[in-house]
Structure 1
Amino acid sequence: MKFSAIKKNRQKKKKSQLPLRLNILFVSVFLLFSLLIVQLGVVQILNGEEAQQEVDKTENTPSQKPVPRGEMYDADHNVVVDNDPVRSITYTPPKNGQTGNERLQLARDLAEYITIIKDEEELEEEITERNKKEYWYLLEGNQKIVNNRLTEEEQNLDTGDKYQAELDHITEDDLAEVEWSNEIYNVIAIKKELDAARGLSPHIVVNEGLTEEEYAKVATHLNQLPNIDATTDWKRQRSYENLLNGLIGGITSQEEGIPQEDREYYLANGYARNDRVGTSGLEQSYEDVLRGRKEKVQYVTNSDGDVIRSDVVVEGQRGKDLVLTVDMDLQQKVDEIVEDELRKAIDNPGNNTGFLEDATAVMMNPQTGEILAMSATHYDREEDEFKNQAYRTVYDAHAPGSAIKGATVLTGYDNGVIDIGTRLNEKEINIAGEIKDSYSDLGSSNNDLQALQKSSNVYMMRIAIALNGYNYTYGQPLALNPDAFQIFRNHFNQFGLGTETGIDLPFEATGYVGPSTQYSGLLLDFSIGQYDTYTTLQLAQYVSTIANDGYRLKPRLVSEIREPSNDGLGPIIEKNNPEVLNHVDMEQEYIDRVQEGFRRVFTRGTASGAWAGFPYEVAGKTGTAENPQYKDGKEYMTENLSLVGYTPTENPEMAFAVIVPKNGTSTSRNSINHDIGKRIVEAYYESKEE
């Protein structure tokens, strides 16, 4: 019994100890979980942002690397524009950024191997006083010194304004503490490039002037230069330096990046701020084609934010290639002809006005719209230099004179004021004492063919008077119907005169449109090409439309877009087929009649003397327009000379326009328009035989 009681007491004691231990265990676990929850709360609430940044440091971060632009080839598939590889040192900022002091140290390390500006004078000029202040500010202890100089108000400024205030407090005596040298300037210049980098896109620190030795040194020390890479960049290279000047176009540098005025557009279309883009000419018109597909790279960073690995996610592909309509050999010959004839004309002692400085020419296929050549030479009197400026054919407009009389006659036909064979009195026109007549006595009357052949001013003016709608009496004022101007312009627009031609360039001039004033004499001047102005390209489209039976073709400089290839031209992606903009709305017999008139101009009319014995069939129209110039308070009369034409007369395959403004007058002018015209037609046929 005694033993049994003892046993029961022990069992009872055991049972009482077990719940106590469990309770202690449960309490301990509860306390541990509570501490964990508290710690998580602290991390989330107090240190959440910092913790997330630490996580982000090791995430894969995407970036895009630019690729070379597409190339350009001429009609014979000769390279016109391509890309030259350039050794390049780049900097890719770490994801979590770098302080100014860290970038300064990196610049010092990089300066051990490269000099980004070789010319010492240029290097010193590149460094501004602000650059020096920023350098001094980052030297050890100086930030604290400058900060103590701030007023209480300046201490409370925003970060950017406060930094500017700190720089303003740096004195000349402070800067004098530094022994400035080209070595320090080089460090500053490198740091400026590092500061310019944005995001995780590689920023070019230096490529131009980088020597092979410098490149090799950086490449072998990359492990000591975090976020620096030695790679290959590219620059645009033109095979024909001065041909098609201004029409090929240019691109921005990486320093310029995308244009500020178009930044939203480019950023929305996947561009980075430092991407190079076309700014003019074909480089701008075909930006979407030439830009290529960027290489997409995933960067893996360590906990310090440094890039430790990169993986190519999407292979980059350089831009697509353009094949031009222009044969650069023919283009070069036309450029030489235009410059040569301009030189001769300027040196001509008989042409003594002193204003002649430009000559332009455009050649195109009237059946396809393909531009065969666009040439302009400008004589810079101040520099005494002849410059190739092809863009003037698209952007400069001049009064062409009688070259547009084909459009005037066709306007008369279509409005019923004349018909085939209509004869009009050649007697001078007198409006309230102002005499308007032809350049010489052309007989008592002429029909439509003779009017074109002889270039009658009076015939064209009588068409304008009929369109005006008011009776004309010799010697009396003539009331003006302003609608007559619009009737003329509506018809002229159908030929490309006074409207956009549609050429594949980002901008083209359409010429001056004179006001429809109350002076009827200006309407008469309009009818003979001495009021509104037109570009050489517009005149080429006009005569092409007549040559092509009234079909106005869209002119173009690009014939094909092709896939990029490492071995010549790739497959055709897109072909620019002929595009008819409009068909002149009139009977074909009227177009045929003007074509015959244009043929007679060269066989028995105003151009026959200059073109006598020429071996090829040509039809077209000559033109002269008064162009007064003013110098030192005096007026000097000069004349614009023009010429439009096409060849051969049946099934024409080449149309051309020539304008040479500000020549001498009829007593002293040269025949430069004819000289250029004959030589470019010969050059065209010679190019076909080659």
Structure 2
Amino acid sequence: MFTRRAIMLGAGQGVLLTGLAARMYYLQVMESDRYSTLADENRISHRLLPPPRGIITDRFGAPLAVNRQNYHILIVREQTPDVRKTLTVLSQIIEIEPETIDRVENDVQRRRSFVPVTVRDNLTWDEVARVGVNAPDLPGIIIDAGRSRDYPEGPHLAHTLGYVAAVAEKELTGDPLLELPGFRIGKSGIEKTYDMSLRGRAGTSQVEVNALGRVIRELDREEGQSGETVVLTLDIELQRFANQRLSEYESAAAVVMDVYNGDVLAMSSHPTYDPNSFTNGISHKLWESLINNEYSPLSNKAINGTYSPGSTFKTCVALAALEAGVVTPEQRFFCPGHLDLGNARFHCWKRGGHGWVNMHDSMKHSCDVYYYEVSQKLGIDKIAAMAKRLGLGDPTGVDLPSERSGLIPTREWKETQLGKRWQGGETLICSIGQGYVLTTPLQLATMVARLASGKAVTPHLTRDHVVPEDISARSDSEFPDLGISRQHLNYIRDGMNGVTNEVRGTAYRSRIKIKGLEMAGKTGTSQVRRISMHERQTGVIGNDELPWKYRDHALFIAFAPVENPRYACAVVVEHGGSGSGVAAPIARDLLTRAQELKSSRPGVSAVNIQSASQILRTTTKKQES
């Protein structure tokens, strides 16, 4: 019996040993390559390297958005005997808040001892030097260098360029690049529109790590490809000048554009903000001050602000009347200061009226009654059709996000949206740019460009290359003809010329007096409150006597030079009062400056996009060194 049991036990052990040997042979011989690969993959970690973000320049290659060297302080727990003591010593060398010390202590306890923890970002070179000199007394402290977005022009281009910020949870799309710590994407403006082009292609790094994840050495590195350079149509000198002029008012916007190729040369919105504040995270206090500001500094009023165009809209109504054949340029209407329609009385801005006026005089003096008469013959739908042809009532398609469309009403629109029939009196109100009519400053500039050129000009903010010496050399053939009679367009231009360059024109005092640079324009004053009958009888309260938010908007549109139009301009000053007294002088100065800048650049040579990019990248590398 003992022998039989021994034999059975021995046989069982033999079977087990045989199975073990077979399994070991299978794993070590048959599956050798597979497990060798897995071991290497566990030992080698592949990591993404964020690429440098593409730069943004103005039309002449001036840098508007670049990547600057960013120094920050890190601490490694295993390299210092006492984290708090080291941080306390560091706080005596550079400014570190007590809350930061508490935060760092909590972070180092939650992470592995060899993982660096950020103490402070955005150190100045002086701070870096002080920390470096005191390095022997700061065990575990590391100075690290990286890149952060920098906007050299600061607030001057905040609304156009936009800004970059950290990736939000809802913006994660599966792209591993977005999950890198500290990676920034475009949140508004050009940075958002061209974010994918500006991001570039990520690089990779192969590092050897131990079982705990500690990096032993770098095995291989492939640098990424930096993002593309984006060249804007803006002229930074004209942009600075526009911002300076608007800064005199609480809230305003202005646009200057080329009437033939659609280049936006300046787009200013005031008040503004510093986009650099968003690069590394804006403080809660600053964010609250921006969103609670009654003048809306975060809003780009050039494309997001919608305003009743006031009398600037009369250019559209006059052109619609000529094209429809309901009036002739010489036909006159009598203005006694008002027009009665049914039981309602519609007033002219001039108490006592303008007397007999034709189309030229109606624009020169901005007579409201003339347009009341014309609009009754024309009808709202024909007015709306012409407004659409001139670029109003729809987004222009400029390369910026969140552009608003404004509003050009029609009979069908009112019935569909409000469920009510269109009234005759509403046509009269719309004919002088009030009522339901809403436009943006960029749309008004587009309208002027189309009036001046006769082309369906569309504004844009980016170019394919840095502009050559002669900025008028670009062909305008890409835009189709509006299909409007050249003679009728000349009548409108002549009326706008009378506004600024003929005595008693509403903007005669704001004319450009330099021969050859003269502008033609149209004033506009848009009411934001209803004037009572009592005020009509006793005298309308002046804007200066009203609270800011109840004052009229001041508007002005213009093109220059008169003989050979090249530039279009639109200015809106919120609650600024008189279009002739406030907005017209701004447009005059902007158009004068635009023409002077053109003539003062004879030495600007053609520079292609590659050379401009190379200059900026070389500068960046020198800064890093």
TM over 0.5: yes
- Give the equivalent residue in structure 1 for 2:307: 398
Aligned match for 1:187, one of 94, 105, 124: 105
Instruction: Return closer, same or farther for 1:232/1:268 CA change in 2, 3 Å cut-off.
Output: same
Matched, 1:332 2:317: no
What is the rounded CA distance, in whole Å, between the counterparts of 1:447 and 1:677 in structure 2? Answer: 26
The alpha carbon displacement at 1:237 in A equals 2.0
Instruction: Return closer, same or farther for 1:465/1:268 CA change in 2, 3 Å cut-off.
Output: farther
Matched, 1:543 2:448: yes
Whether the 8 Å contact between 1:499 and 1:510 is mirrored in structure 2 is: yes
Instruction: Return closer, same or farther for 1:493/1:212 CA change in 2, 3 Å cut-off.
Output: same
The alpha carbon displacement at 1:561 in A equals 5.9
Matched, 1:504 2:404: no
- Give the equivalent residue in structure 2 for 1:298: 206
What is the rounded CA distance, in whole Å, between the counterparts of 2:56 and 2:384 in structure 1? Answer: 37
Aligned match for 2:19, one of 17, 30, 34: 34
Whether the 8 Å contact between 1:72 and 1:82 is mirrored in structure 2 is: yes
Instruction: Return closer, same or farther for 1:193/1:682 CA change in 2, 3 Å cut-off.
Output: farther
What is the rounded CA distance, in whole Å, between the counterparts of 1:383 and 1:653 in structure 2? Answer: 40
What is the rounded CA distance, in whole Å, between the counterparts of 2:232 and 2:262 in structure 1? Answer: 12
Instruction: Give the gaps of 5 or more residues in structure 1.
Output: 1-25, 44-50, 92-102, 127-181, 343-356, 469-483, 563-568, 570-575
- Give the equivalent residue in structure 1 for 2:519: 618
Instruction: Return closer, same or farther for 1:580/1:638 CA change in 2, 3 Å cut-off.
Output: farther
What is the rounded CA distance, in whole Å, between the counterparts of 1:507 and 1:118 in structure 2? Answer: 44
- Aligned runs of 1:199-598 on 2, under 5 Å? 206-209=120-123, 211-212=127-128, 231-252=144-165, 257-264=166-173, 267-268=174-175, 270-272=177-179, 274=181, 275-340=183-248, 342=249, 357-378=250-271, 391-426=300-335, 428-440=338-350, 445-468=356-379, 484=380, 486-511=381-406, 516=414, 517-518=420-421, 519-531=423-435, 532-549=437-454, 551-560=455-464, 583-598=481-496
Instruction: Return closer, same or farther for 1:280/1:194 CA change in 2, 3 Å cut-off.
Output: farther
What is the rounded CA distance, in whole Å, between the counterparts of 1:367 and 1:213 in structure 2? Answer: 53
What is the rounded CA distance, in whole Å, between the counterparts of 1:219 and 1:307 in structure 2? Answer: 23
The alpha carbon displacement at 1:218 in A equals 12
- Match of 1:589, SS? helix
**Alignment deviations for residues 595-627 of structure 1 (CA, whole Å, 9 cap, x no partner):** 222222222232224428454321121112212
What is the rounded CA distance, in whole Å, between the counterparts of 2:231 and 2:108 in structure 1? Answer: 40
Whether the 8 Å contact between 2:50 and 2:177 is mirrored in structure 1 is: no
Whether the 8 Å contact between 1:193 and 1:205 is mirrored in structure 2 is: no
- Give the equivalent residue in structure 2 for 1:174: none
Whether the 8 Å contact between 1:371 and 1:557 is mirrored in structure 2 is: yes
The alpha carbon displacement at 1:642 in A equals 1.1
- Aligned runs of 1:44-55 on 2, under 5 Å? 55=39
Between the two proteins, the alignment pairs up a number of residues equal to 530
What is the rounded CA distance, in whole Å, between the counterparts of 1:204 and 1:316 in structure 2? Answer: 24
Whether the 8 Å contact between 2:177 and 2:202 is mirrored in structure 1 is: no
What is the rounded CA distance, in whole Å, between the counterparts of 1:635 and 1:661 in structure 2? Answer: 9
The alpha carbon displacement at 1:448 in A equals 2.8
Whether the 8 Å contact between 2:51 and 2:200 is mirrored in structure 1 is: yes
> Aligned AA for 2:122?
E
- Give the equivalent residue in structure 2 for 1:173: none
- Match of 1:243, SS? helix
What is the rounded CA distance, in whole Å, between the counterparts of 2:520 and 2:402 in structure 1? Answer: 30
Instruction: Give the gaps of 5 or more residues in structure 2.
Output: 1-10, 29-34, 273-288, 415-419, 468-473, 532-542, 601-625
> Aligned AA for 1:501?
T
The alpha carbon displacement at 1:117 in A equals 9.4
Aligned match for 1:672, one of 551, 568, 582: 582
> Aligned AA for 1:238?
Y
- Match of 2:154, SS? coil
> Aligned AA for 1:628?
R
What is the rounded CA distance, in whole Å, between the counterparts of 1:317 and 1:42 in structure 2? Answer: 42
Instruction: Return closer, same or farther for 1:385/1:680 CA change in 2, 3 Å cut-off.
Output: farther
**Alignment deviations for residues 407-445 of structure 1 (CA, whole Å, 9 cap, x no partner):** 112222333433454444546421223212433356554
Whether the 8 Å contact between 1:258 and 1:273 is mirrored in structure 2 is: no
Whether the 8 Å contact between 2:108 and 2:117 is mirrored in structure 1 is: no
**Alignment deviations for residues 648-678 of structure 1 (CA, whole Å, 9 cap, x no partner):** 123311111111232447xxx9811222122
- Match of 2:184, SS? coil
**Alignment deviations for residues 496-534 of structure 1 (CA, whole Å, 9 cap, x no partner):** 222212211122222356673544322211111112222
Instruction: Return closer, same or farther for 1:382/1:310 CA change in 2, 3 Å cut-off.
Output: closer
- Give the equivalent residue in structure 2 for 1:74: 58
Larger radius of gyration: 1
What is the rounded CA distance, in whole Å, between the counterparts of 1:536 and 1:277 in structure 2? Answer: 28
**Alignment deviations for residues 547-574 of structure 1 (CA, whole Å, 9 cap, x no partner):** 111x232222222468xxxxxx9xxxxx
> Aligned AA for 1:500?
P
Instruction: Return closer, same or farther for 1:505/1:230 CA change in 2, 3 Å cut-off.
Output: same
> Aligned AA for 1:622?
T
Instruction: Return closer, same or farther for 1:109/1:230 CA change in 2, 3 Å cut-off.
Output: farther
- Give the equivalent residue in structure 1 for 2:603: none
The alpha carbon displacement at 1:638 in A equals 2.6
> Aligned AA for 1:584?
L
- Give the equivalent residue in structure 1 for 2:529: 628
Instruction: Return closer, same or farther for 1:37/1:365 CA change in 2, 3 Å cut-off.
Output: same
Of stretches 236-245 and 506-515 in structure 1, the one that deviates more from structure 2 is 506-515
- Give the equivalent residue in structure 2 for 1:602: 500
> Aligned AA for 1:271?
L
- Match of 1:591, SS? helix
Whether the 8 Å contact between 1:207 and 1:233 is mirrored in structure 2 is: no
What is the rounded CA distance, in whole Å, between the counterparts of 1:644 and 1:580 in structure 2? Answer: 24
What is the rounded CA distance, in whole Å, between the counterparts of 1:219 and 1:317 in structure 2? Answer: 35
Instruction: Return closer, same or farther for 1:636/1:86 CA change in 2, 3 Å cut-off.
Output: closer
The alpha carbon displacement at 1:382 in A equals 14
What is the rounded CA distance, in whole Å, between the counterparts of 1:544 and 1:295 in structure 2? Answer: 45
Instruction: Return closer, same or farther for 1:457/1:117 CA change in 2, 3 Å cut-off.
Output: farther
- Give the equivalent residue in structure 2 for 1:63: 47
What is the rounded CA distance, in whole Å, between the counterparts of 2:211 and 2:332 in structure 1? Answer: 93
The alpha carbon displacement at 1:377 in A equals 3.2
Whether the 8 Å contact between 1:251 and 1:280 is mirrored in structure 2 is: yes
- Match of 1:662, SS? coil
When the two structures are superposed, what TM-score results if normalisation uses the length of structure 1? 0.65
Aligned-residue identity in percent: 23
The alpha carbon displacement at 1:233 in A equals 0.8
What is the rounded CA distance, in whole Å, between the counterparts of 1:613 and 1:594 in structure 2? Answer: 21
- Give the equivalent residue in structure 2 for 1:146: none
Whether the 8 Å contact between 1:65 and 1:294 is mirrored in structure 2 is: yes
- Give the equivalent residue in structure 1 for 2:5: none
What is the rounded CA distance, in whole Å, between the counterparts of 1:560 and 1:229 in structure 2? Answer: 43
Instruction: Return closer, same or farther for 1:193/1:374 CA change in 2, 3 Å cut-off.
Output: farther
**What is the RMSD computed on CA atoms of the aligned residues?**
4.7
Instruction: Return closer, same or farther for 1:522/1:586 CA change in 2, 3 Å cut-off.
Output: same
Whether the 8 Å contact between 2:518 and 2:561 is mirrored in structure 1 is: yes
